[in-house]
Each structure stands twice: as structure tokens, then as C-alpha cells.
A and B are shown apart, each in its own frame.
Chain A
Amino acid sequence: MARLQIRNLEKVYSNSFKAVHGISLDVDDGEFMVLVGPSGCAKSTTLRMIAGLETITGGEIRIGDRIVNNLAPGQRGVSMVFQNYALYPHMKVRSNLAFGLKLKRRPKPEIEDATEAVANTLEIDPLLDRLPKQLSGGQAQRVAVGRALIKKPDVFLFDEPLSNLDAKLRASMRVRITDLHKRLKREGQSSTVVYVTHDQTEAMTMGDRICVMKDGCIMQVADPVTLYNRPENAFVAGFIGSPEMNLMEGALAVNGGVNIGLAGQMLTFGEDVGSRLGMRGGDVLLGVRPQHLRIATNDEENALEGHVSHIEFMGHEVYLYVDVGDIRIVVVVPSEQYHPEDIRDDRIRLVPRETAVHIFDRETGRNVSLSANA
């Protein structure tokens, strides 16, 4: 049973590069927290500080009710699964699993029982007498998970554990890990997880909550649905969702309706956007997801006119790449709603769904269209 609390955590590397800028994050007991962000945003650094593999240069980490800043990794009650498995190459799978318990001088029968139990859970019993080099990638990763599991730690740490596996295996391991987490939780074992990935599919499908990071700062912490529907800033909006949200530079003016001028055209939104808008005018980014744009019927007004540059047929949906002035946007249309005759001379008119429109302050990147709708 342990809650992980991070307060104003900072990391300055020995070359005086500041990798982590005072982040604070709470992970509840039994929660599956995903750290996600582009390469180099200090996900691994943060995780390694929690594990104790990297010194903490500022702030505080608590696991349960202990401050662990100055504890050795082995005393923090954490287990870690590494990206490249990091199995001990000279030990059989069995000894790899048992190593942590042996160091703790647990009695032999207990170690054997625990090994059996973990091997059962992860279906690696037939592999117990093999050496790591005799395992496939997926098997090695299961052993690595087993090695973390056997210690019954307070907090599990995963650093991109699936990124060395092929797409199919990754999907099945994803399910396996979430199932395992649910099972631990059901059985009342401690099951707090911090899981690092740069893959947003993993983040969205696995996390109870997701912490989006950028350049050593936290951009937003929320559950997947909130993150998708109510991104707090343009970075999160662009990072979560596929294809990416369209972010179009424009000028906002509120007089009666909400008017946004972009690429020489004018879009007007009504009460729905107006009521939640926290900004009266200025430079903005208009954010609309590709799925929230539809092709206008002939007589419809208040649409963006653009020029279709190319079309990708994906099976169940169609991606249209449209140039509006010099802004390139993507539109996703379900296949059954796509009629090539709607596009005449490569011209197309698009209507954004008003309830799903986001407006970001271009200077701060903050989402100014969230406020009243909380």
C-alpha cells in the first residue's frame, strides 16, 4: 500500500544541464500512472530518480510515508523493468527471478514458492532453466516483469518496456501488463505503477492517469478522456490524438459572436464557444481535431474553404490533406460519409464541430476555451 508523492523535483546533471524543472506529481495507491512525452523530455530521468539510480538535486520524493531521497534503490521498495530487459546474463531465469529475494536472505522454500508463483502468472515456467540469451524478446520481457513482480514492491517502475518488441507482441504485452495490474489490485497487493513511454497508444490504453511532459516540465496530468477532450494547452492538444489536432494560427475578435480570422477567411462561432471563452481578442491558435471537421453541404455558410492536396484511403476512414491558404490541415472522414463528388475542382469546404473546438492563446499556449465548461 503506497502512494507516491513528488514535490518540486529538480535534476541538474553534472554538466550543469537542468533536465527536470521542479515537477510535482501524486500517484495514488494502486494507480497506473503513465509518463509520456517526446524524446528528451526527462521521463527516464524522473523515473530513475524515483528508483534511486540518479541523485535528486532538488525537491522531495515520498513513497508511502517515507521520504526516500537519500535511500539506496534497494531500500525504497521499488522494482524496475528496463527497456532492454537487463536480465543478468550469467544466471538462469530462475536465479534471475530469485536474485532480489536471495539478497534479502529469505528462506529457500519461500523463494522457491515465490518463483513458482510468478512463473505461473507470467507463463514462463518452461523457461526457468534457460539462460537469458536463450529467450526471445517477448519471453525476456516477461522474465523482466517477473523479476519486478516477485519482490512485491510498493511501486513498480517501467521504462519503455515494450519499445524493443514488434507491434503485435507489443499489443499483447500491453494487455498482459494491464491485466496483471488489475489482478494485483483485486488481490489487494500494492500495485502503484509509474510507466514511461513515448507511445501515446500505450499511454491512452494503459494509464489510469497520464502525465504529459515536455522539456522537464509537466504539461498536464489527467485521465485519458479528459486529456483528449479538454487539453489544457496547445502542446497536450497536439501530442495526444492521432492524426494530430489541427492547430491554425488566427486572430480572435469577440463582438456579439466569436470571430476568428485565419488565412484570409472568417469563422464565426456562437454561444457554445462564447460562453466558455476566457479571452476577448488577440492572437490565437484554433484547434480542431481531424475527426471534428466535416465536409460542408453546398449552401452552408461559416465554413473554411481549402484546396485538397492529397487523399489517403485507410479502409474504414479517409484522410484528406487540405491547404487552407498556407495552413495544411488534416480531415478524417468515415468512409461511408466520403463522396468524391463533394469535392469539385479540388475545392472543399469544411465545417468544424463547434462543441469540439479549442482556442489557445498563441503567446502562452494555454487553452482559453475551457473555463466556463468545467
Chain B
Amino acid sequence: MAEEITVRATTAELASARALAEGRRMHAISSAVRYALLAGVGFLMLYPLIWLIGASFKTNSEIFANPGFIPSEPTLTGYIEGWRTSTPYTFATFFWNTFLIILPKTIGTAISCAAVAYGFARFEFPGKRILFATLIATLLLPNVVTRIPQYLLFRDLGWLDSFLPLWVPSAFAGDAFFVFMLIQFLRAIPRDMEEAARVDGANTLQTLIYIVVPMLAPALISVCLFQFMWTMNDFLGPLIYLSSVDKYPISLALKLSIDTTEAFQWNRILAMSVLALVPALTVFFLAQKYFIEGISTGGVKG
């Protein structure tokens, strides 16, 4: 009797083990299919970027002759000549200019937006509703509408052909989107920690610096990254406000090489485009973790 039971039990075990193995194989096949599909689509999406990098090592004549992305005789001339540019300045100047705009703009944005968002999210003050409504309204306002008045304003201030119009508005929390994003993020954080800090003896500013900013860090990092990338890519702003070539940032300088050469030196343009991508990509990969965390928590909890 007992033996019979054991035998039956073993057959049952065998059957279930077989079912398990079967399940595992199905699972492996389906993942293989899924990954192949994803890799294919991913490659398709990345193709322009890969082509760009490949083409930047081609000779000018090969770029349009050969549709593949692997250069037949790799060369660095694109980079060398592109760097020298057709102006009296090298590309280093343009990188430096971009840096001079991005640095104060990003830092200013982080500080001012955190302070303004803290104010809106945590304090009651007269006119708060109207001010908040105004903030949201500027979010919805198309940029073009304010271009001309802004231009006139900066002209009267004597700021034309300087970097100031490009970063000062942002350093005074001029980017409503960032303020809004931080407010939503803050609303999801309970106030208890700040109250504990106040009982511990912190004043408003200390609470902001020691408690709120660290808790806001993921969102602030996203703000900095967005600001960094958008400024890197901003073409219209510098085009409107900067007139001397020695002040051009990268985005304008790339266009410059198209303007001034009669026969376009595509390999130079492509090479410099690749270089222009490098900072943004580096920063993105370094901060990827915070970036994604910031967007998702800000979005979901808000």
C-alpha cells in the first residue's frame, strides 16, 4: 500500500517536472522572439545616429555615394578641418560659448525653480491663487507671442549680442514648466519632515536647503538635464540675440559651416554634429538613473 503511494507520487512528480521543463522552453522561445523584435526596431530607430557617426569618418565624396554606414577608407579629415572652421575661431570657442550659457542657466534654473516651487507648494500668501494661475497660463502661452516684446526689452537693456538674454530669464524661474514639475513633485512629499526640521530649530531657508532640496534631488536633476539638453539644442534664441561670430554657441556654429562654404563640406558638418552630441549623451548616461526616476515619480505622484 505504502509502496503504491510512493510510486504514484513519483509518476506525479515526473509529470510535473516535465510540464515545468516544457514551460521553461516555451518561455525561452517567446523571450527570444521578443528580444529579436525589439532589437530590430531599436536598430531601425538608431540607424540615423549610427549612419551619422559612420559618415563622419568618410570622405566628402563617399558620403552620398555609399549608403552603408561603414566607411570604406576611414579618415579624420572631417574632424580636423571641421574643428578649424572657416572662421577665425576654432570649434573650441563655440563649445566654450555654449558652456558659458549652459552653466549659469542650469544652476540658476535649479536654484530659482526650487525656491519658487517651495513657496507655491508650502506657503499661503495673498494672491497665491492668481499667481499660480498666471504661472500655468505662461505654460500654455506659445513662445512666439513673447519673442518681439522680449527682444525690445533686452534691446532697451542693452543686452543684445551678449549671453544675458539667453540665461537670465531662466535664472529667475522663467521656465514655468520646471516650476510646475517641482511643485507637483513637492506636493507628493509629506510635510512632516519639514515640520520636524522646524521644531529642530531650522528656519525657512535652512529647511529648504537641508531638507527640501535633498528630497527634491531626483526632480532637480531631471530639471537640470532637461535644461542642459534644451539649451544645447536651442537654435532660435542665439540666432535672435547673438550677432558676433565669436559669441556663437555650437548650435549656431553648425549652421555657420553650411552658410559660408559654397560647396558644402558635409563631412565636416557631420563630424562636428557628432562632437556636439557628445556632451549631451555623456551627461545623459551619467545621470540616467536620476533622470528616469525624476520623470516617473514627478509624473505618477503628481
Contacts and interface: CB of A to CB of B under 8 A. Distances in A.
Do the two chains bind? Answer: yes
Interface of A: 14, 51-53, 72-75, 78-80, 82, 84, 86-90, 99-100, 103-104, 147, 151
Given A103-B201, A103-B206, A104-B201, A89 B215 contact: yes
B276 to A, nearest CB: 35
B201 A82 contact: no
A51 B195 CA distance: 10
A14 B211 contact: no
Contact of B196 (A14, A72, A88): A88
A86 B193 CA distance: 5
A53 B200 contact: no
A73 B199 contact: yes
Contact residues of A: prevailing secondary structure: loop
Given A90-B215, A103-B206, A74 B198 contact: yes
Interface string B171-214: 00000000000000000001011011111111100100011001
Nearest to B189: A89
Contacts of A79: 199
Interface in B194-240: 195-203, 206, 210-211, 214-215, 217
A52 B215 contact: no
A74 B200 contact: yes
**Size bracket, chain B contacts:** 10 to 19
Contacts of B192: 82, 84, 86
The 3 tightest CB contacts between A and B, nearest first, are A74-B201, A86-B192, A100-B200
B148 to A, nearest CB: 42
B202 A82 contact: no
A82 B214 contact: no
A74 B199 contact: yes
Contacts of A80: 195-196, 199
A99 B199 contact: no
A100 B201 contact: yes
A89 B195 CA distance: 14
B199 A103 contact: no
A5 B199 CA distance: 19
A104 B202 CA distance: 9
A176 to B, nearest CB: 20
30 contacts: A14-B124, A51-B199, A52-B198, A52-B199, A53-B199, A72-B198, A73-B199, A74-B201, A75-B201, A79-B199, A80-B195, A80-B199, A82-B192, A82-B195, A86-B190, A86-B193, A87-B193, A88-B197, A90-B215, A90-B217, A99-B197, A99-B210, A100-B200, A103-B201, A103-B202, A103-B206, A104-B201, A147-B196, A147-B200, A151-B200
Given A14-B124, A90-B214, A90-B215, A84 B199 contact: no
